[in-house]
Amino acid sequence: MCGIVGYTGNEQAAPILLDGLKRLEYRGYDSAGLAVRDGGALAEVVKATGKLQHLADKTDQGRALPGMCGIGHTRWATHGGPSMVNAHPHVSGNCSGSGSGTVESDVVGVHNGIIENFSELKEKLLRHGYVFYSDTDTEVVVKLVDYYYKKYKIGPVDAITRTMVRVRGSYALALMFKDYPNEIFAARKDSPLIIGTAENASFLASDVPAILKYTRSVYYIDNLQVARVSPGSVKFYDLNGDEVTLPLTEITWDAAAAEKSGYEHFMLKEIHEQPAAVRDTLNSIIKDGDIVLTETGLTDEVIRSLSQIDIVACGSAWHVGMAAQYVIEDLAKLPVRVELASEFRYRSAPMPENTLVIVISQSGETADSLAALRVAKERGALTLAVVNVIGSTIAREADHVLYTLAGPEIAVATTKAYSAQLAAMDALAVRMALARGQISREEYGHLIEELGTIPDKIRRILEDKERLQWFSSKIANAHDIFFIGRGLDYAISLEGSLKMKEISYIHSEAYAAGELKHGTISLIERGTLVVGVLTQSGLYEKTVSNMMECKSRGAYLMGVTTNGNFDVEDSVNFAVYVPRTDEHFVSSLAVVPLQLLGYYTSVSRGLDVDKPRNLAKSVTVE
Torsion sign across C-alpha atoms 276, 278, 284, 288: negative
Among 217, 223, 249, residue whose Cα is nearest residue 236: 223
Among 344, 332, 285, 277, residue whose Cα is nearest residue 308: 332
- What string of DSSP letters covers 85-144? TTSSPEESS--SSSS-EEE--SEEEEEEEEETTHHHHHHHHHHTT----SS-HHHHHHHH
The residue count for the chain? 622
Round to whole Å and give the CA distance between 320 and 498: 12
Round to whole Å and give the CA distance between 113 and 367: 10
Kindly list the catalytic residues. 2, 617
Helices then strands, counting H and E runs in the chain, come out as 18, 28
Angle between helix 587-604 and 466-475 (nearest 10): 50
Among 222, 575, 510, residue whose Cα is nearest residue 365: 222
How does strand 336-340 pair with strand 308-313? parallel
Q: Give CA angle at 407 (406, 412), nearest 5°.
A: 85
Among 227, 203, 175, 233, residue whose Cα is nearest residue 11: 203
User: In degrees rounded to 5, what are phi and psi of residue 160?
Assistant: -70, -45
Among 430, 348, 361, residue whose Cα is nearest residue 389: 361
User: Which amino acid, 92?
Assistant: S
Among 257, 408, 422, residue whose Cα is nearest residue 327: 422
- Phi-psi category of residue 356: left, alpha or beta, with phi > 0 → left and psi -120 to 50 → alpha: beta
Round to whole Å and give the CA distance between 31 and 83: 7
CB atoms within 10 A of CB 10: 10
Round to whole Å and give the CA distance between 576 and 410: 28
